[in-house]
Structure 1
Amino acid sequence: MDVELPAELLEFLGQLDAFIDKEIKPLEQENDNIRFFDHRREHSRTDWDNQGLPTHEWEELMYEAKCRADKAGFYRYALPKEYGGRQGSNLDGAVIREHLASKGLGLHHDLQNEHSVVGNHVNAQLLLQYGTPEQQEKLFDSILLGKRTLAVAITEPNHGSDATHMETTAVREGNDWIINGEKTWNSEVHLSDYNMVFARTSGKNGDAEGITAFLVPMNSEGAKIEEYLWTFNMPTSHAHTSFTNVRVSDKDIIGEEGQGLRIAQHFFNENRLRQAANSLGAGVYCINESVKYALERKPFGKPLASNQAIQFPLVELQTQAEMLRAFIQKTAWLMDKYGAFSQSDKVSMCNFAANRFCCDAADRAIQVHGGIGYSRHKQFEHIYRHHRRYRITEGADEIQMRRVAGYMFGFMKQQAPKGM
């Protein structure tokens, strides 16, 4: 692996920065849109009287930013060229996400909503890889840049991290399937016409095989949004949903019958790495802002930066950032070279280490800034609250460590790299 980033990627970052300065930053300032990013952000984004969902104005603003990014040729970067993208690699994605997150909170890259001017097209890519031509034709355009999306329903109330003990079932009845069960943390379902629902169709509890992914129309009889779960960082889009005798057919299966967890694992592996890169970038922002403030702030007649009690914790965080950057980029490069499933242990390492790092960096930034750091007039509390979520979603810290241990001690087998 060449430790110098490709010249074309660095050129893309420069073009991206110019676009943000020209198109996105002015939009951020129009019509008091800055309220979505300053100390009023949580209140401005949240419709407290409508189940805590995002406000219409906030979602419209993100949609406008995505449309501008798409028109300028940035939004589809990761997609294949035939779909208007640039065939962006995992390494590209890791570098871009760190770069954008290190700029701090803004309309260019808002992690609470997984919004970015360079889209994280996980669901669209899954649809392209596993969906039938009919499913792709029906859904691809709307979930890529429409105002609708495709929700994913994996997690269950009684089985958070263990998807193999899935209580949601789908039973064949002629050419149809009857789905019964409940899901939680069913994110973005308020914007979704279809839900990718994972259900056991064969096998027994604990089996990785025998789980199938279905495209379920949310207007189906028996499909219901029970409630939205209010969270540490509001607004919420995380629903508790139920499915009672919901009827679907064979044509609604995504991928192969009984192989749904392969789709889920594909989703998790790539998203965990992008999540790590986002956490690295946000942590770097916290460090940079703390260094800047420590040089400016002069209590007792001298800069805070002259105190080793300020310097040393930030030095340790900066050291972690450098090591994480090298590890994340190496892991992304190896995934590009040998396949997404060839580096599962390293992806898990990157994920839990970067997410912890970000929370530590935000906490240290609050401490360095003192009272103003604790206030909502700085971004650190928002960064902490969001990235604290990353230590649970896509697999908690403990699940990531358990996976690494599984490979270390031989309880799990890693997919062999392609061509070896």
Structure 2
Amino acid sequence: MHATIPTDLAELLAALDVFIDTQITPLEQEADNIRFFDHRREWARTDFERDGLPRPEWEELLAEVRRRADAAGFLRYSLPKEAGGAGGTNLGMAVIREHLAHRGLGLHNDLQNESSVVGNFPSLMLLLRFGTKEQRAEFGEALVHTGMGFGLTEPDHGSDATWMETQAVRDGSEWVINGRKRWLTGVHAATHNLIFARTSGKPGRARGITAFIVPRDTPGFGVEHYWWTLNMPTDHGEVALRDVRVPDSAILGAEGEGLAVAQTFVHENRIRQAASSLGAAQYCIDRSVSYARERITFGTSLAERQSVQWPLVELHTEAALVRSLVRSTAAELDALEHVGGDHMEVSDKVSMCNYRANRLACEAADRAMQIHGGMGYSRHLPFEHIYRHHRRYRITEGAEEIQMRRIAGHLLGFSGHAGRSTSSAEAGR
């Protein structure tokens, strides 16, 4: 892996491995913390009597990991230096996320809530890019530790975000928000949530949607229930907003230009999501190769059977191709940012990375289960957990059909270079 990446990144990966081996893996073994990763993982993490939310002891363990990673100087790598980070690049984040996922399940890089020793801070990056000086001062540090809920999707509108029905109406110096939001991830812990609402314009139009920072304890803001998912625990709330009042200062970015905020969130997350899926896929491939060499059936190893060889060859080849695309696309994003270019210029390539890598992770996990036989299907091995997590990536941040639609827009000329004619309806789930 290191031969194709800059020397400084290779050195960072080596330092991360030392940190994980000396500080995180031992923590994983303390006080039966391994229960969160062995066959008991789903039950150990989930409070089934409390709406399926994460157990407090599980979230506290993840918080301790983040504290240690922050103290060691790794957690904020992706953030700009003014936010205490290292100004990490898109290529750096792609390489790191692949590397951490390739290590397999563990406290260093949890799948269920995407906690990692190298943090991904999409909400904070939005604040730094679109927020006012006052907003950055008020929320910046808090978002390193708690995050902000992202309220774009609605019960009747996911990828067709421009048709959202949540509305905000001006009343003097305030806005009154009414509507519903679905899959508001992390709402149980977030003190504030980013809520998108139409403030002007007609349904289906990109302009006229505004992003509001709404405190969790605002009157009229209520979590009605949490949706239980294929991968538990859940933190995906169904939220109702009934006459929720916020001031003008709650607007993030420009009034009526909230879709640009949403697009930035999902676009930058897609390449990082793809890198994680790639790492998980390679982990499944490597584990399957090792097992195939060791497992003897009918007097010979599984590795000698073409029915085992060919699927693994296909997956390994696909992983190599996706890795090249992910890294080259991340490098292009960095180059565009360096010259002040529009990151949407490579949105088709980001979509290629995303839908292929997410599909690859599911295919690799499924093949690993098949090669490992009955044990592969059990929860004593990690493949079912990997499959259940990465299966959601084929829907979130824009379903794979949306990614393909964006690529088609670039390929066949249905959109401009930034895909603007199709992007207005492709921001959500």
**TM-score category of the 2 structures, normalised to the smaller one:** over 0.9
What letter corresponds to residue 356 of structure 2 in structure 1? A
Aligned counterpart, 2:202 = 204
Q: Distance in 2 between matches of 1:210 and 1:18?
A: 49
Q: Distance in 2 between matches of 1:23 and 1:5?
A: 26
Alignment of 1:113-128 (within 5 A): 113-128=113-128
The TM-score normalised by the length of structure 1 is: 0.97
Alignment of 1:1-16 (within 5 A): 4-16=4-16
Q: 1:52 Cα deviation (Å)?
A: 0.1
1:189-236 Cα offsets, whole Å, 9 max, x none, are 000111100000000011011100001111111110011000001000
Residue 50 of structure 2 corresponds to residue 47 of structure 1: no
Residue 58 of structure 2 corresponds to residue 30 of structure 1: no
Aligned counterpart, 1:356 = 359
Q: Distance in 2 between matches of 1:94 and 1:111?
A: 16
Q: Distance in 2 between matches of 1:41 and 1:139?
A: 33
Aligned counterpart, 2:156 = 158
Moved over 2 A (4+): none
1:32-79 Cα offsets, whole Å, 9 max, x none, are 000001110000000000000000010000000000000000000001
Q: Distance in 2 between matches of 1:218 and 1:80?
A: 27
Aligned counterpart, 2:391 = 388
Query: What secondary structure is seen at the aligned counterpart in 2 of 1:149?
Result: coil
What letter corresponds to residue 231 of structure 1 in structure 2? T
Aligned counterpart, 2:271 = 273
Which of 222, 234, 246 aligns to 1:224? It is 222
Q: Distance in 1 between matches of 2:336 and 2:131?
A: 23
Q: Distance in 1 between matches of 2:3 and 2:413?
A: 31
Aligned counterpart, 1:68 = 68
Q: Distance in 1 between matches of 2:108 and 2:3?
A: 27
Residue 94 of structure 2 corresponds to residue 91 of structure 1: no
Query: What secondary structure is seen at the aligned counterpart in 2 of 1:225?
Result: strand
1:271-320 Cα offsets, whole Å, 9 max, x none, are 00000000000000000000000111112221111111111100110000
Identity score, percent: 58
> Would the aligned equivalents of 2:178 and 2:243 in 1 still touch at CA under 8 Å?
yes
1:160-216 Cα offsets, whole Å, 9 max, x none, are 111100100000111111100000000000001111000000000110111000011
> Would the aligned equivalents of 2:124 and 2:147 in 1 still touch at CA under 8 Å?
no
Aligned counterpart, 1:107 = 107
> Would the aligned equivalents of 2:177 and 2:242 in 1 still touch at CA under 8 Å?
yes
1:345-404 Cα offsets, whole Å, 9 max, x none, are 111111111111110000000000000000000100000011110000001111111111
Aligned counterpart, 2:372 = 369
Aligned counterpart, 1:263 = 261
Which of 229, 232, 237 aligns to 2:235? It is 237
Q: How many equivalent residue pairs?
A: 413
Q: 1:137 Cα deviation (Å)?
A: 1.6
Aligned counterpart, 1:174 = 172
Query: What secondary structure is seen at the aligned counterpart in 2 of 1:221?
Result: coil
Aligned counterpart, 2:323 = 325
Q: Distance in 1 between matches of 2:360 and 2:260?
A: 29
Query: What secondary structure is seen at the aligned counterpart in 2 of 1:370?
Result: helix
Q: Which of 182-191 and 295-304 deviates more?
A: 295-304
> Would the aligned equivalents of 2:75 and 2:119 in 1 still touch at CA under 8 Å?
yes
Q: 1:111 Cα deviation (Å)?
A: 2.0
The TM-score normalised by the length of structure 2 is: 0.95
- Gapped runs of 5+ residues in structure 2? 338-342, 420-429
Q: 1:412 Cα deviation (Å)?
A: 1.6
Aligned counterpart, 1:188 = 186
